[in-house]
Amino acid sequence: MATADAMALRAYSYWILRYRRTWRGTVVISIANPLLFLVAIGVGLGRLVGPDAAALGGVDYLAFFAPGILAAAAMQNGIIEAAFPVAVNRGPGGAYPVAAGTPLEPEDILHGHLLFMASRVVLSAAVFMAVMVAFGAARSPLVLLTLPAAALTAMAFALPSAAWAVTLTDIRPVNGIFKWVVMPLYLFSGTFFAVEQLPSVVRPIVYATPLWHGVDLCRSLSLGTVSWPLALVHIAYLLCLCGVGYLMARRLYRRHLHA
Partner 1 sequence: MLDVLVQAAGLVKRYPPRDRHGTPFTAVDGIDFVLRRGESFGFLGPNGAGKSSTMRMIACVSPPTAGSLRVLGMDPLTQGREIRARLGVVPQDDALDRDLTVLENLLIYGRYFGLPKPTIAARSAGLLEFAQLAGRGDERVDALSGGMRRRLTIARSLINEPEILLLDEPTTGLDPQARHVLWDRLFRLKQQGVSLILTTHYMDEAEQLCDRLVVMDKGHIVAQGSPAELIAAHSTKEVLELRFEIGEQDKAVAKLRDAAIRDRLEELPDRVLWYTAEGEAALAVVHQIGLRPATAMVRRASLEDVFLALTGRTLVD
Neighbours of 165 (CB within 10 A): 24
Rule CB under 8 A: say whether 1 interacts with partner 1: yes
102 belongs to the binding site for partner 1 (CB under 8 A): yes
**Do residues 112 and 11 make contact, with C-beta atoms less than 8 angstroms apart?**
yes
The half-sphere exposure of 97 on its side-chain side, counting CA atoms within 13 A, is 10
Distance between CA atoms of residues 180 and 182, nearest Å: 6
Please check whether residue 91 is in contact with residue 64, taking contact to mean a CB–CB distance below 8 angstroms.
no
Tell me if 53 sits within 8 A of 112, measured CB to CB.
Answer: no
Stretch that binds partner 1, among 40-48, 98-106, 175-183, 199-207 (CB under 8 A): 98-106
CB closer to partner 1, 105 vs 216: 105
Tell me the C-alpha to C-alpha distance, in Å, between residue 55 and each of 58, 138, 146, 255. 7, 18, 22, 49
Nearer to partner 1, 92 or 229 (CB): 92
116 interacts with partner 1 by CB under 8 A: no
State yes or no: residue 6 binds partner 1 (CB under 8 A): yes
One symbol per residue from 150 to 189: x for binding partner 1 (CB under 8 A), - otherwise; what is it? ----------------------------------------
**Under the criterion CB under 8 A, does residue 100 sit at the interface with partner 1?**
yes
Binding residues for partner 1, rule: CB under 8 A, are 1-2, 6, 10-11, 13-14, 17-18, 21-22, 92-95, 97-105, 257-259
